[in-house]
Structure 1
Amino acid sequence: MQWVLEPLVGVGPLRFGMNPDQVASALDGATAYISTGLGSGVGWGDYSDWGVTAVYGEDSGLVAVAIDAMDGPLVRLRDVELIARVPSEVRADIYGLALKEGASVRVNWSGDPEVAAWGISMGAALELGLSPEGYTERRDRVITHALLVGPELARDPYTSEPVIRWSDVRHRAPNSGAWPVKAEQVRPRWDWTPLEGIGPLRFGMNSEQVAAVLNEVPAARHGRYPFGQPWEGFGTWMLHHDRFDATGVTAHYTSGFGAPPTLGAVTVHGRTGPQIDFEGIRLIGMAVSAVDTALIQYIEEREMGLVVGCSGDLGPDGLNMYVRTTRAGDTVVSEARFCQEGWEDHG
């Protein structure tokens, strides 16, 4: 499909201000297969057949449309194609058009261009393809997606209600628009003991022990207050994870009623983290397609099981390790999450 963006008015057949029934009708009777609060005020609906997510405001009026990188329609603004392209090329085209029209371009939370005058905030997602055998496989680059908003959200789309309820990016590390990748020769090498620990970190450590052994103060912390379940207790803030930028890792914690947070998983960052080997396969900072190929070959040769995580991450069965991806400009590099036994990874 090819849609045209009319800045701050609508995109394709959709117009800002439409209610959910009107959006469904404009999309040929489409069903929102995943939805929250549709028709009851603030809410959103994922029309996966179209590759579109519609976000609604207080009066159930359409205020934002997210266009998926892989499945969404191709959206054109003037002569600029916005979707499913190389991010740096789209960025150059947006800056060129903005210069011609006198519009101001800023960098959003993900390091991509955002233009209030047009109500657009760009982003990028991992490109997927099909292997020769017909299986979905991860590619080594990202392609563009977009959040398109009406005038009331154009000033700051991702931190505005109700977008923040649909996609809360406040706990993600903001990017300035650069993705430097640490060279292999300057990365420290860490050992990994499956289900027990990684490098100097051991599962079961408390957050103070983690910070002490890394000799680093967390650059960011993320947690929540309990939702009121009896086993969680009441009013005590629960730590989810600490991000250590100098070391290049994120520590993930598990906690419960009356129990302090303890280390349950560690994500080693692809661009900056230490190198980890698994049976001669370098897991960190590599082309993800190469890591996937080597990992699958190793598993098949030994008739092991392959586990696919909820985000498409791959790992050998029984080790609770998942090879993940992280963006590096127009490309992606591999990173990995190492978990204790019983840890349920949710992406």
Structure 2
Amino acid sequence: MTAVYGPGPLLVAVAVDALSGPQVRVGDVGLIARVPSQARADIHDLARRVGVSVRVNWSGDPEVAAWGLSMGAAQDWRLSPDGYAERGDAMITDALLVGPAPAEDPYAATPVIRWHDVRDVETNSGTWPVTLDRDRPRWDWTALERVGPLRFGMTTHQVAAALHGEVPTNRRGWHQWSQHGAGQWYSSEERFDKAGVSAHYWYPDGVPALAAVTVHGRTGPQVEWDGIPLIGRKVSEVGAEVIRHIEEHGLGRLVHCDGGPGPEELNMSVRATRAGDTVVSGARFFAPDWENH
């Protein structure tokens, strides 16, 4: 569990982990480490029985102000045949529990924002449509150089032009203020929902340059590595195929910060994207010397 404190310090919220947290119940409904859709159905059923309302929170999961409850989900992990922890293909539930004051909007409470700020995170309406493979465009990948029409080193304007002028759905970055109050915006990430990709930038020469491309698992284009489709598949299957290919070709193997494997020399990692109760594979491709965070 994670305890979140406000001034005092006084306990404001408790976040219960999906993988290692205790089982928590509201009424007769278990909340933790469950299939999200099943937990959601049970929460709605109990809420109807006791006469409280249920809404959808930022992650597409149930939230009940009367109970100070905001549900979430995390990818399940399992032990491999060799005894190592590895990512599974399922999502399991976690929960944020708060007191009366922040219950109307738990993730907007200042202490919670300091613990986990979701204001710039992609929101979900509670549905997770996955584009069929036959409906995905095909992008080529040249390691360390480009992904589809996006070449590492492009400016933000060049990226938008390469994506047929698509306007980013969301931007992340920071302002740098001068002593006169004027500020300059530095973009670190732009999400393009129509294309199904995110562009990540760095500033080696003081101007934004494309450093990495994340292809979203649910909606992004299909990208292959030596005949291995990387996008929109079971994460466990893609991971196993990538690891086998790495070993067969004598490449270095890295496990990135989100648990995804990738070939060390080619700057690619397999990522996982939630699709309701399951996860599907995405991928990140990045330039030389860029740290894959």
The TM-score normalised by the length of structure 2 is 0.96
**Does 1:70 find its partner at 2:19?**
yes
**Does 1:117 find its partner at 2:66?**
yes
Alignment of 1:191-230 (within 5 A): 191-215=140-164, 216-226=166-176
Equivalent residue in structure 2 for 1:333, among 272, 280, 284: 280
CA offset at residue 302 of structure 1?
2.1
**Does 1:267 find its partner at 2:204?**
no
Letter in 2 for 1:59: G
CA offset at residue 259 of structure 1?
1.2
- Partner Cα distance (2:245, 2:85) in 1: 19
Does the 8 A contact of 2:239 with 2:260 survive in 1? no
**Does 1:241 find its partner at 2:173?**
no
Q: Which residue of 1 aligns with 2:265?
A: 318
Letter in 2 for 1:244: F
Which string of whole-angstrom CA distances, capped at 9 and with x for unpartnered residues, describes residues 290-325 of structure 1?
001111111122222210111111101111111000
Number of equivalenced pairs: 289
**Does 1:293 find its partner at 2:240?**
yes
Equivalent residue in structure 1 for 2:201, among 253, 260, 269: 253
Letter in 2 for 1:168: D
**Does 1:79 find its partner at 2:28?**
yes
- Larger relative CO (CA 8 A, sep 6+): 1 or 2? 2
Q: Give me the identity figure in percent.
A: 60
Does the 8 A contact of 2:16 with 2:22 survive in 1? yes
- Partner Cα distance (2:37, 2:237) in 1: 24
Does the 8 A contact of 2:177 with 2:184 survive in 1? no
Q: Which residue of 1 aligns with 2:81?
A: 132
Runs of 4+ in 1 over 6 A off after TM superposition: none
- Partner Cα distance (1:68, 1:175) in 2: 21
Q: Which residue of 2 aligns with 1:276?
A: 223
The TM-score normalised by the length of structure 1 is 0.81
Matched residue of 1:71: which SS?
coil
Matched residue of 1:263: which SS?
strand
Q: Which residue of 2 aligns with 1:92?
A: 41
Rate the CA distance shift 1:174–1:213 in 2: closer, same or farther, 3 A.
same
CA offset at residue 227 of structure 1?
9.2
Matched residue of 1:84: which SS?
coil
Q: Which moved more, 1:181-190 or 1:292-301?
A: 292-301
- Partner Cα distance (2:131, 2:257) in 1: 28
Letter in 1 for 2:168: P
Q: Which moved more, 1:78-87 or 1:159-168?
A: 159-168
Q: Which residue of 2 aligns with 1:308?
A: 255
